[in-house]
Homo-oligomer: A and B are copies of this chain.
Amino acid sequence: MRPSGRDLSELRPVSIETDVTKHAEGSCMIRMGDTHVLCTATLEARVPPFVKGSGLGWVTAEYGMLPRATNTRMRREAAAGKQGGRTVEIQRLIGRSLRAGVDRVALGERQITIDCDVIQADGGTRCASITGGWVALRLAVNKLMKAGDVISDPLIDPVAAVSCGIYAGQTVLDLDYPEDSEAGVDGNFILTGSGRLIEVQMSAEGSTFNRDQMNQLMDLAEKGVSELVALQKAACA
């Protein structure tokens, strides 16, 4: 029934390739089917003004899409002179979600910036960014710990994300673009490795939904995230 032939509760094939750039303190290329996102972690001593002097660390994120990551070329945001509303929304979500897994006291007063750049898009780029962004963050923090700059691990619980939605009347896991563009309801679920909820966003796109459907979507999300967390762990091992 799904365009890809997947089961309703089946993720796309996922791969997480680590250390893909020579400059970043942590990096990975995450591929969820045809959605490919390059995630890098940059470690800096400099922190934003509202953190300065607090002794606390800060994790933030930026998101971008190459102009031809999509089927139709999109205008380059740098040329347009500003980041669009969608971009701003997504990068705020990524940063907020990753911070939920971080002990900012243990991290100490330093900043880690996660850049998520979509090389190829086929739906679910924000979820892939969060899942891959966590891996980049994990690898950068590993370096900090190896160097003795941080004593106790500031990463308390892994963070991963998956989309679920109602497609052709059925609740499905991990929507690709053909599903996403037709879905009546679309949701993003960000959970921790231990199954705690960080952020839940469900949005009717054309048809409203009820609590029963909402619960089915949550069930699928829990299944999907637990598989993704296992893949994150394997990639960082």
Residues in A lying within 8 Å of B, measured CB to CB: 21-24, 27, 34, 38, 40, 42, 44, 62, 64, 66-71, 73, 76-83, 85, 87-89, 92, 96, 100, 113, 115, 117, 119-120, 122, 157, 192, 195-204, 208-211, 214, 218
Contact = CB atoms under 8 A, between A and B. Distances in A.
A64 to B, nearest CB: 6
Given A81-B81, A200-B200, A68 B208 contact: no
B83 A89 contact: no
A62 B23 CA distance: 23
A197 B209 CA distance: 5
Contacts of A24: 68
A8 B220 CA distance: 31
B62 A120 contact: no
A115 B68 contact: yes
A227 to B, nearest CB: 18
A168 to B, nearest CB: 19
A85 B92 contact: yes
Given A81-B82, A89-B89, A120-B21, A197 B202 contact: yes
A21 B78 contact: no
A42 B73 contact: yes
A204 B100 CA distance: 7
A87 B81 CA distance: 13
A56 to B, nearest CB: 12
Given A21-B68, A87-B78, A88-B85, A199 B199 contact: no
7 contacts: A23-B71, A62-B67, A77-B78, A78-B83, A100-B204, A197-B210, A197-B211
A38 B66 contact: yes
A76 B66 CA distance: 13
A197 B192 contact: no
Given A38-B66, A79-B62, A88-B89, A120 B209 contact: no
A38 B21 CA distance: 14
Contacts of A115: 66-68, 73, 76
Given A40-B68, A196-B209, 9 more contacts: A24-B68, A27-B68, A40-B66, A78-B78, A78-B83, A78-B87, A197-B208, A199-B201, A200-B201
